[in-house]
């Protein structure tokens, strides 16, 4: 049975295209594989920013942790366990000020955990969450995949780097972009994304 983990992170609510298409991908894969779907909505259930309780707690023996450290490490462990249990990870990210939302950044801060999701060897860092397929839906109002604004895409490259760093290197990305240039441009961008998502689902079936 295929276990799918869906992570949505856009504060745009019902207007979020990243959440819409990420959900479509996750539900489509679940349906075609008769699998399970776990949803982590980082807007409806936001994570706290990491604090010293998390940083020190993960370095402290469990029996010596303070109550705050126990709670912080337990939350991070819950998120890591969700990732480990998933065969397929689907992430929706909407660009906020040229990068991912702070909610999604907080999720990565919790799951990027030395000796748990990555480690170092003689060749440098090594991701430990291998053998999973990841779909990344990255939405932006402008066009950042090419042209003069490509240098300012601090969302896609950053997320791809973090995913690879923890071992999620098999990534297919769907870009939703150019929606701020009027109704016709938005309609075309959505239609193009719908077609791209259908291609992905046909391949995954």
**Quick one: CA dihedral 50, 51, 54, 55, positive or negative?**
positive
pLDDT at 81: 98
* Residue 17 assigned to a binding site: yes
36 lies in which domain range?
3-204
* Residue 145 assigned to a binding site: no
- Partnered with residue 46 across adjacent β-strands are none
Residues 6+ apart with CB under 8 A from 67: none
Tokens of residue 47, six digits = 């994570």
Tokens of residue 8, six digits = 């949505």
The residue-averaged pLDDT of 161-168 equals 98
Q: How far is CA 198 from CA 25, 80, 114, 203, in A?
A: 8, 29, 37, 9
Tokens of residue 150, six digits = 């490509």
Phi, psi dihedral angles at 175 (to 5 degrees): -105, 130
> What confidence tens digit (pLDDT) does each residue in 55-84 have?
999 999 999 999 999 999 999 999 999 999
Q: What is the CATH number of the domain that holds 15?
A: 3.40.50.360
Mean pLDDT (the chain, rounded): 95
> Tokens 């090594």 — which residue?
126
CB 137 within 8 A of CB 90: yes
* Residue 16 assigned to a binding site: yes
> What confidence tens digit (pLDDT) does each residue in 1-57 have?
899 999 999 999 989 999 999 999 999 999 999 999 999 999 999 999 999 999 999
The number of folded domains in the chain is: 1
Tokens of residue 81, six digits = 């366990």
């Amino acid at each position: 049975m295929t276990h799918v983990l869906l992570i949505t992170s856009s504060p745009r609510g019902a207007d979020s295209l990243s959440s819409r298409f990420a959900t479509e991908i996750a539900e489509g894969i679940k349906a075609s594989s008769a699998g399970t779907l776990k949803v982590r909505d980082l807007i409806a259930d936001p994570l706290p920013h990491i604090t010293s309780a998390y940083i020190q707690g993960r370095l402290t023996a469990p029996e010596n942790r303070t109550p705050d450290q126990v709670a912080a490490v337990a939350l991070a462990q819950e998120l890591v366990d969700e990732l480990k249990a998933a065969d397929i990870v689907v992430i929706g990210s909407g660009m906020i000020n040229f990068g991912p939302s702070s909610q999604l950044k907080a999720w990565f801060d919790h799951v990027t955990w030395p000796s748990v999701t990555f480690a170092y060897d003689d060749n440098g860092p090594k991701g430990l969450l291998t053998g999973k397929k990841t779909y990344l839906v990255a939405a932006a109002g402008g066009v950042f995949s090419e042209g003069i604004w490509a240098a300012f895409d601090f969302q896609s490259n950053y997320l791809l780097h973090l995913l690879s760093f923890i071992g999620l290197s098999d990534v297919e990305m769907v870009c939703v972009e150019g929606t701020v240039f009027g109704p016709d441009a938005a309609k075309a961008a959505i239609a193009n994304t719908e077609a791209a998502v259908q291609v992905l689902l046909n391949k995954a079936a």
